[in-house]
Amino acid sequence: MLIRPAAPADLAAVGEVTAAAYAPFTLGPDDPYVARLRDAASRAEQAELWVAVTDDPHGPGEVLGSVTTCPPGSPWREIAEPGEGEFRMLSVAPGAQGQGVGSALVEHVLEHYRRDGARAVVMSSLVEMAAAHRLYARHGFARLPERDWSPVPDVHLIAFGTTLGGTA
C-alpha cells in the first residue's frame, strides 16, 4: 500500500469509496450529505486529500481509502484551534476494511502534522462510528467532550484529539 496526494484521476474513486464507507451512517442515497462525501474534487482543491492505493508498478493503483487534512484557512476545518491539525472523512473501501488501511491513514495524518509543527490533532465523528473510535483510541486519541457540536439539527458530532506526544 502507498499513501500519496490524490491525483485528478483518483477523485471519482475516492468519492465512491467515501460514500460507500459512510453509507451505514447516512439516511440513504437521497441524504444530502452523500453528495458532500462524493465531492472529492472540492476536498482536493480546498484542503489536502490523501489516498491509500495498492502499490501497483503497472499503474496508479486501486483506491483503498482516503483522508482529508484541513490546513488553517480551509473551509473543511471545523474544530481545530491554532497550533492543531484536523482531519476529516477518513474512509476505507468496504472490501479493504480490517486490513490496516485506516491505521496507515491515521499514522500518515499524525506524521504529516508532526512535520508541520502542530502540537495536537483533532477530529469529529458520529456517535455511532464505534469501530472508528476504537481505531482512533489505538492511535492515542481521547474524547474531547467540550468540543462536541452539531453542524445541523439532529446530527451530533463527538470530538477526539491527541497531542503529538501521544496523549490528549
Q: Is residue 168 part of a domain?
A: no
Long-range contacts of 131-138 (CB under 8 A, 24+ apart): 132/90, 132/102, 133/160, 135/102, 135/103, 135/106, 136/106, 136/160, 136/162, 138/103
State the average pLDDT over residues 28-37: 91
For the chain, the domain total comes to 1
Alpha helices in 48-100 (DSSP H): none
pLDDT at 165: 66
pLDDT in tens, 129-144: 999 999 999 999 999 9
pLDDT at 56: 81
pLDDT at 154: 86
Tell me what percent of the residues of the chain surpass a pLDDT of 90: 88
pLDDT in tens, 46-93: 999 999 999 887 777 899 999 999 999 999 999 999 999 999 999 999
Which CATH number covers residue 33? 3.40.630.30
* Across 2-11, 84-93, 119-128, 157-166, least confident range: 157-166
Give SS3 for 61: coil
Q: Is residue 50 part of a domain?
A: yes
**DSSP state for residue 59 in the 8-state scheme:** S
Q: Is residue 108 part of a domain?
A: yes
pLDDT at 168 over 80: no
Lookup: cell for 55: 502499490
Q: Is residue 132 part of a domain?
A: yes
Q: Is residue 156 part of a domain?
A: yes
Full domain range(s) for residue 68: 2-163
Q: Is residue 31 part of a domain?
A: yes
pLDDT at 152: 87
pTM of the model as a whole = 0.93
Per DSSP, which regions of the chain are E strands? Answer: 2-5, 48-53, 63-69, 84-92, 120-126, 142-143, 149-152, 155-163
Query: CA-CA distance, 151 to 159, in Å (whole number)?
Result: 13
